[in-house]
Amino acid sequence: MIFLTRRAGFSASHYYWNEAWSEEKNRRVFGRCANRNGHGHNYTLEVTLAGEPDPQTGFVVDLKWLKDVIEREILAAWDHKHLNLDTPDFAHAIPTTENIAIAAWNRLEPTITAAGRARLSKVRVYETPEIFAEFRGQQ
């Protein structure tokens, strides 16, 4: 079994706001992340697949295909976008690094599973080089 990872980047805006709370509580809990004009990050995504290398190619999966899947499923939706305003992924979830990792998994897993070549093993999202969250699916 090999764990094969491809990294990709996207630049996006977000803010933290819980609609069920007062403005005062939002500001107290989320601090400067509650700024409704938003702020942004260069996110880095790491997508890890687990599988056996094909003896004909030496590939777990073709990395060109994986790059295309990431671009189509994630970057087209999130790159140069406002995560709260431009995507449906965070209609009911605050776009924290944790929730972005889960949403990335949910976007990628069906396509990767359907391809039948390898399973999605984990998704890691860096908000900055100092902060990252990893999701390995429901277990």
The 34-73 contact track toward a copy of itself, x by CB under 8 A, reads -x-xxxxxx----------x--xxxxx-xxx---------
* Cα gap 102→97, rounded to integer Å: 9
Q: How far apart are CA 105 and CA 121, in angstroms?
A: 9
Q: Which of residues 6-35 bind a copy of itself (CB under 8 A)?
A: 6-9, 11-14, 16, 18, 20-21, 29-33, 35
| Residue from the set 27, 111, 119, 134 that interacts with a copy of itself by CB under 8 A | 134
Query: DSSP class of residue 53?
Result: P
Q: Which of residues 90-129 bind a copy of itself (CB under 8 A)?
A: 93-99, 101-102, 128-129
Active site residue 80: yes
Rounded to the nearest 10 degrees, the angle between the axes of helix 63-70 and helix 97-115 is 130
- By beta-carbon proximity to a copy of itself, the closer residue of 63 and 110 is 63
Which DSSP letter does residue 1 get?
A: -
Measure the CA–CA gap between 117 and 69, rounded to whole angstroms.
14
Catalytic residue among 33, 98, 109, 134: 33
Strands (E), the chain: 2-14, 39-51, 81-82, 119-128, 131-135
Site residues (vs a copy of itself, CB under 8 A): 1-9, 11-14, 16, 18, 20-21, 29-33, 35, 37-42, 53, 56-60, 62-64, 79-82, 85-86, 93-99, 101-102, 128-136, 139
Point out the residues that are catalytic.
33, 80, 127
